[in-house]
Amino acid sequence: MSATDDYTELFSRVMMRSAPAPLAVMARGRGARVWDVEGKEYLDFLAGIAVNALGHAHPAFVEAVSAQAATLAHVSNYFATAPQLELAERLTRLTGGDRVFLGNSGAEAIEAAVKLARLTGRPRILTLENSFHGRTIGSLSLTGKPALRAPFEPLLPGVAHIPSTLEALERELAAGDVAALVIEPIKGEAGVVDLPTGYLAAARELTTAHGALLILDEIQTGAGRTGDWFAFQHEGALPPGTLPDAVALAKGIGGGFPIGALVTFGAASTLFGPGHHGSTFGGNPLAAATANAVLGEIESADLVANARTRGAELRARIELIGSPLVTDIQGRGLLLGIGLSQPVAGIVASRALDRGLIINAANESRIRLAPPLIIGDDELHEFTRLFAEAIDIPHTDPGDHA
């Protein structure tokens, strides 16, 4: 048996059956490349699902983890540490927010957002159909995918999943009992699907008018991925002079180290009081120091601009391939979703993996790309060659791929 076979057999014996069999067993990585236990090399255009902002084994990440682990890793939330406070200050500066709750993951950040909404005293939370906010009970309650929710119902009461239309939003808000609207600026797990033009700006105006919070899930779009630090900061995203009430963050802010955060703005920052929420590991010095190093490198290396520039180049390269399968390209910066005219996304992703390219079939008709923010000419050129081969499927009749 090969090393892959050995690990796959071990996986099937010891891992909970909530996860499918692994596509490969990875051993190491550097930059935008990873190698499996057989030594095969892959170009990573998923980055751990928009997590590895600096790629793999970046010196800034390695040094931060090593130095902090040798100094102080954890002290509990009875104490504060310099890395924790530095990170909170950094996140308020980058977002324009006022206060920060630090947790361990995106789901934890959303759980904090649910509690924040409950503290308004209003009973209902609105989210969008086909959205994704996590798999804990609270975050799953907000997730607009019935197939994910069904096995675990009943979930939290008072959550309504509405179409991504302003008519639906205005109708729900008119009842006067909505605590918050929780939305992704771009629907990531749906396959990187844009909101209707002007939706976010109108949502800010409508929630303000009806006294509801606007809470943004920027877990996948944050930390520079879309070509601005956060998607709500894109020109025209929100009305001039306005901000959200809270933003949930995770993934890219830690660059591979588990961390999450909820940043609050204005009056929403007064809702949490002593004892309302907590997290044993949230904001521990090891996680905080790593996040500071990752965000600091993104800032000093101007990787936000790189995401914007390289994202435009990546989009143009996909269009130039000219595949008849491609129907649309959505998203911004280095978070792109490719729509397919046939339900063959899994086949395309599998063909790409065979050729040494990691991409994601978000569903049967959409491919998701989220490469590290460090990619350059070499990676774009190699992606173009490998993706063109992967998407060149001779027969695309749906019956051929049933």
Of 36, 44, 217, 245, the active-site residue reads 217
Of 230, 245, 251, 383, the active-site residue reads 251
Enter the DSSP assignment of 336.
Answer: E
Give the C-alpha separation, 39 to 1, whole Å. Answer: 15
Tokens, residue 115: 């509690």
Residue showing tokens 């939370």: 125
Of 132, 230, 257, 383, the active-site residue reads 132
Q: For the chain, how big is the Rg over CA atoms in Å?
A: 21
Residue 291 vs residues 61, 81, 87, 192, 295: alpha-carbon distances, Å: 8, 14, 7, 25, 6
Tokens, residue 197: 């033009």
Q: Pick the closest to residue 291 from 129, 87, 50, 115 (CA basis).
A: 87
Asked about 354 being catalytic, the answer comes back as no
Asked about 145 being catalytic, the answer comes back as no
Tokens, residue 198: 């002007």
Strand ranges of the sheet holding 124-128, from the earlier edge strand across to the other edge: 99-103, 260-264, 246-249, 213-217, 178-183, 124-128, 159-162
Residue 399 CA, chain-centre distance (Å), reads 33
Q: Pick the closest to residue 382 from 110, 5, 43, 7 (CA basis).
A: 43
Asked about 11 being catalytic, the answer comes back as no
- For residues 174 and 142, the answer to whether their CB atoms sit within 8 Å is no
Beta bridge partners of 260: 103
Q: Which residues are catalytic?
A: 132, 217, 251
